[in-house]
Structure 1
Amino acid sequence: MNNRLYYDDPYLHTFEASVLKWGTEPDGTPYVVLDRTAFYPTGGGQPCDLGELGGIRVIDVVEVDGDIRHRLEAPLPQERQQIAGQIDWPRRFDHMQQHAGQHILSASFVEVLGAETVAFHLGRDYVTIDVRLDELSIQQAEQVEALANRIVLENRPIEARFVTDAELALMPLCKQPTVSENIRVVIIPDFDYNPCGGTHPARTGEVGPIKIIGWERHRGNIRLTFLCGWRALADYSRKHLLLRELTRTLSTGEPELAEQAQRLVAEREQLKAALEEKETQLLEGEAQSLLAQTVPLSDVRLVKAVWAGRSMQQLQQLARLVTAQAADAVCLFAAEGDKLQILFARGEQVALPMNQLLKDTLPLIDGKGGGNPALAQGGGAPILPAEAVLAHACRLLEESIRV
């Protein structure tokens, strides 16, 4: 493992190496293999390092059959035998903070609740662990978080090294290694002994604050989302600005903010209910007005109307109100806008199928729709005026009645 410089010094920013192999992935991405590298490859729940090799951007780093492939944005000239590398240090240190923070948080769960971590994912924005728990209370989460941050503030050393079988046998490991040789253990003395191949800072103080920001049930366990270090501080700053803006907008202090928000939500629901009631009353009045203008068609009363910018939901409500008041009514409604919407409905005494009438009308507007014999709706391009479309439907309706 001597060619993996990130094991010797995770703080190494730059290095020089010899190119051992040039290659191309099946998707055409060029890559090189070096005699030594400071680039950490994706693995163990930790994303890879990014950076540059010889001025060419490294876009991915993976291990394939023991080789660490540095996938490049552009091919590296084969005459370049010696090459200088530079890793993206802010990305590397962020991963060091998050990964070490995960060790500390997972060990805190074991210490406080006897709950082991069964999965870990270090994402671009958030970090998650799956903890073997049926449920987690706010009080329990606070206890675990408090212990984790106490370990951080104590600034304990973090030692990461390869160990012998004899040393391994004496260590109180939090989990068994996934490999049988070259076993590397990350040690926080008297707290956590974790087989791990990732990169970590030298002391817990460098991890910075550890903050649990949420959890949920996931496949029989509890999945926690948390942030460490600079990520946690950025999250705090973002939420503090949001909180300040909310207190200014609502003209209230932070302690009263939740109560004020609840009050506003309650008022909104009351206003919404009152508005819906008034809208229903208006629609009922409009339905009566439409019925007063019906056109007799054999033993059917035809109600035909066109509106601009009306929603399909309003057309449905009007049709239901009309047909509820007049069982012998047939509604032919349309709403003009960017899209022409049409709705056909019938009362209980009418046997004509509205879905068939819609099917025979939609081709005029290259439309799509569906429904049932009592109510059908659809929409299409405003190729023809709505009045012309409804006139066509009316003729089809007359033909059906004569038959």
Structure 2
Amino acid sequence: MKGSEYVTQKLYYKDAYIKEFITKGLEQNQDHSGRWYIILNETAFYPTGGGQPCDLGTLNGVRVLEVEETEEEIRHYVEERLENIGKVKGEIDWSRRFDHMQQHAGQHILTAAFEELFQIRTVSFHLGKEFCTIDLEIENLSEEILFEVERRANDIILENRPIEAKWVSHSEASEYKLRKELSVTEDIRLVIIPDYDYNGCGGTHPRATSQVSVIKILDWEKQKNMVRVRFICGKRVLIHLHQKHFILKELGQLLSAPEDQLPVVTNKLVDANKAQAKSIANLQETQLQFEAEQLLKSVNEWAGEKVIEHVFENRPVQQLQKLARLITEKNLAINVFFVAENGDKLQFVFSRDQHASFNMKAIVKDILPVINGKGGGSDSSAQGGGAAIIRGKEILTQIQKCIQTKNFTKI
């Protein structure tokens, strides 16, 4: 098996702070999709696994795009083929690596705080590009619980406790008060924060809790029978704080209010906008009712049926639908044909009341091919749209001609 042919030494387990290394390549090849990958004699690149993304960086100056482990074979997928793999210099993207170390160690600390204070178990962890998540075995949370857990986690960080990693046998592992059951029986690696957290883990971590710097819980949401908590650690907290500070500063300037008054001023603004929106909606309703009364004065007759036809410019379909309802709800045996010329599109609404007879669904189906359009509905109300290949008036003329030659009644 290919995976057992090469056993790469994992330098990231010897020292997670290795940023550069020199080794030799064992193989350079392409996978089934044509991507080039390199297998090294030893590597400081951490492969994707355990909720932690892989390291990135370069090999002999060529970008490493992804690192994966299959069996004991670690593949470094590169941007292009290396000229020579006899001597390979690897350089880790240290900013990314240390960020991952902070987030992963922060997750251990936060998870242990949930268990220590409230006996809430973590069932999964994801380290994302912008934030991290843990899924908790509980159906609901409170702000009081989150506050206490966050406080405890940051106290552990300030205590500057060591973070130790050690390889143990299965029997040796049983001597520790592990936070969760081990998923392996061999090659067991424990990550230990003395007198606080003992956990089987294959990720990279800093040497002490102080290097996590700080943990901030952002929010939480329900996920089926669990709760998903979003959080960030270390430098991500500074970035998040900078973004929030910039936003609050901009809002303060826009609203001419100090930061502590922004919620009050914003609520007043929202209430004012709601009142204004309601006033506008009432005015629009009045305008549409007036417009409907005016259109009722222009009734024509097609094939013995009363018809109101009109072409609008830059009118949303929703307004045409409401206007048609205002007319048809009067039950005056009227068929309505509205077309809107909206830029490079033609949109239309056809409707009738219960005393009129045209089959609007059949008419729409007949007219759609003319404008390469889509649409549908029922025999009493249908709508659609397509390309503005012809003018709206031409569509209405074509509908009138078709009604005179085809059976477009509702029966």
Alignment-derived partner of residue 65 in structure 1: 71
With over 3 angstroms needed to count, the CA separation of the structure-2 counterparts of 1:402 and 1:278, relative to structure 1, is closer
Alignment-derived partner of residue 124 in structure 1: 129
The count of corresponding residues between Structure 1 and Structure 2 is: 402
Task: Point out where structure 1 has 5 or more consecutive residues left out of the alignment.
Answer: none
Q: What's the offset of the Cα at 1:402?
A: 10
Q: Which 10-residue stretch deviates more, 339-348 or 289-298?
A: 289-298
Alignment partner of 1:389 is 2:372? no
Q: What's the offset of the Cα at 1:299?
A: 4.9
Letter in 1 for 2:355: Q
Task: Write out aligned runs for 1:4-403 (5 A).
Answer: 4-77=10-83, 79-297=84-302, 299-337=304-342, 338-399=344-405
Q: Deviations along 1:331-358, whole A, 9 cap, x unmatched?
A: 1111102201122111221122111111
With over 3 angstroms needed to count, the CA separation of the structure-2 counterparts of 1:181 and 1:349, relative to structure 1, is same
CA distance in 2, matches of 1:63, 1:296: 77
- For the 8 Å contact 1:97–1:207, the answer to whether it is kept is yes
Q: Which 10-residue stretch deviates more, 6-15 or 351-360?
A: 351-360
Q: What's the offset of the Cα at 1:233?
A: 1.0
Q: What is the DSSP-based 3-state SS (H/G/I as helix, E as strand, rest coil) of the residue aligned with 2:32?
A: coil
- For the 8 Å contact 1:296–1:302, the answer to whether it is kept is yes
The TM-score, its normalising length taken from structure 2, stands at 0.94
Q: What is the DSSP-based 3-state SS (H/G/I as helix, E as strand, rest coil) of the residue aligned with 1:352?
A: coil
Q: What is the DSSP-based 3-state SS (H/G/I as helix, E as strand, rest coil) of the residue aligned with 2:207?
A: coil
CA distance in 1, matches of 2:330, 2:106: 67
Letter in 2 for 1:49: D
Letter in 2 for 1:195: G
Letter in 2 for 1:135: N
Letter in 2 for 1:90: S
Q: What is the DSSP-based 3-state SS (H/G/I as helix, E as strand, rest coil) of the residue aligned with 1:170?
A: coil
CA distance in 2, matches of 1:339, 1:357: 19
The TM-score, its normalising length taken from structure 1, stands at 0.96
- For the 8 Å contact 1:327–1:346, the answer to whether it is kept is no
Letter in 2 for 1:70: H
With over 3 angstroms needed to count, the CA separation of the structure-2 counterparts of 1:399 and 1:51, relative to structure 1, is same
CA distance in 2, matches of 1:238, 1:210: 17
Q: What's the offset of the Cα at 1:222?
A: 0.7
Q: Which 10-residue stretch deviates more, 162-171 or 271-280?
A: 162-171
Q: What is the DSSP-based 3-state SS (H/G/I as helix, E as strand, rest coil) of the residue aligned with 2:310?
A: strand
CA distance in 2, matches of 1:56, 1:223: 38
Letter in 1 for 2:179: C
Task: Point out where structure 2 has 5 or more consecutive residues left out of the alignment.
Answer: 1-6
Alignment-derived partner of residue 4 in structure 2: none
Q: What's the offset of the Cα at 1:298?
A: 5.9
Q: Percent identity?
A: 43
Q: What's the offset of the Cα at 1:2?
A: 8.7
Q: Deviations along 1:142-198, whole A, 9 cap, x unmatched?
A: 110010011111111111121244532221110122211121111111110111111
CA distance in 2, matches of 1:187, 1:350: 80
CA distance in 1, matches of 2:8, 2:305: 91
Letter in 2 for 1:136: L
